[in-house]
Amino acid sequence: MKFSENTPLVEEVMDFIRKSKMFNKTTFHVDNLEVINDFNEAQNLAWSQDSSEVDTVWEYVKSQEAESIVERVYDLELVTQQDDLYDYFSDHDNYSNDFIPFDYIDINEEVEGDLTMCALNRLVNGTTDNFFGKIFEIYKAGGWPCGWKGTYPNGEVIVYVP
């Protein structure tokens, strides 16, 4: 597939799901974030809509960041490429066997959506250091971004690492 001058960057995300596995690293290191090791806590952070439990609702953060990417997709007239990426990342045949270990299958849709946005981000922004650039860095390092510490946009990503 051709994705403008950013094709190699988009293909890196595509290759990640074809050739890698989640949580398959022995060490985890990404700067400026908070790491947690409790999967139940991670799920609660990722899916909580209760502002008395979390500083900022994680889905709100991701949707705010995704909005600007989708806007650029339309501005740059890349809707066909966007549709191709949605199709690619929603087709489970494109993922390596056991990409997400069975014990973590509950987060499959979250991961799929995140990585789709990482690819779209690279399509429209290249290697710009931004939110979804950081999210892809976290996935490559072996973590699952699952929440936000602080009041968005101030604060940092919370990452689950087994």
H or E element, residue 33 = strand 33-36
What is the Cα 45 distance to its own chain's centre? 15
Looking at residue 128, what is its pLDDT?
86
Name, in order, each residue with C-beta under 8 angstroms of 105's C-beta and a sequence gap of 6 or more. Answer: none
Q: Across the 162 residues of the chain, what is the mean pLDDT of every consecutive 10-residue run?
A: 85 97 90 94 90 83 95 94 96 95 95 98 93 96 96 94 95
